[in-house]
Amino acid sequence: MDEEARSMLLAPAGLYLPLVAALVLTFLRTRGSTRDGDRTRLIRIFLIGVAVQCAHFSEEYLTGFYRLFPPLFGLAPVSARFFVGLNVFFIVLWLVCSFGVKRGFRAAYFPVWFFGLGMCLNGIVHPLLAVWVGGYFPGLFTSPVAGVLGVLVMRELIQSTGWSHDA
């Protein structure tokens, strides 16, 4: 496997655990409240979170996160094209899945669980990276807001879903 492919596979590895956890939560929790108000509140907070993620992604891109993060783990930097493509893919997915959540489709909750968990992780990891390097690390400034929005999304998900009896 060439270095670029290895980096593209391993650099986002920190997101694999929240991805699996989101899948498990999607199956273990019911599709969500049948009350429109609960889903509307979740979607509102979620979309605010997606806007914050856009700001966070912009900070990471403009300050070179994709170049600086992989070498911390002995990997080659990933290309700007890969980094932008991955982020744009998820932003579009999150926007589209908000319509599915509004309609109560269980599968649409999977990206929202992933989003909430990932944003919580952003709020923790970026400050730790700054401590590790002894100064600013790309994404640090927007990560606390991302973390707070992740907690709020997770709270809404937990409040608007229940344990599934058919899982």
Please give the C-alpha separations between residue 40 and each of 21, 22, 26, 103, in angstroms, as whole numbers: 24, 20, 19, 10
Alpha-carbon dihedral of residues 65, 69, 70, 71, nearest 10 degrees?
A: 120
Q: Residue 7 has what pLDDT?
A: 84
Taking 70 as the threshold, does the pLDDT of residue 31 lie above it? no
CA end-to-end span of the chain: 38
Q: Residue 85 has what pLDDT?
A: 95
Indicate the length of the chain as a whole number. Answer: 167
Q: Place 4 in a pLDDT band, splitting at 50, 70 and 90.
A: confident
Q: Place 29 in a pLDDT band, splitting at 50, 70 and 90.
A: confident
Q: Is residue 33 packed enough to be buried (19+ CB in 10 Å), middle (13-18) or exposed (0-12)?
A: middle
User: Taking the model in full, what pTM does it have?
Assistant: 0.91
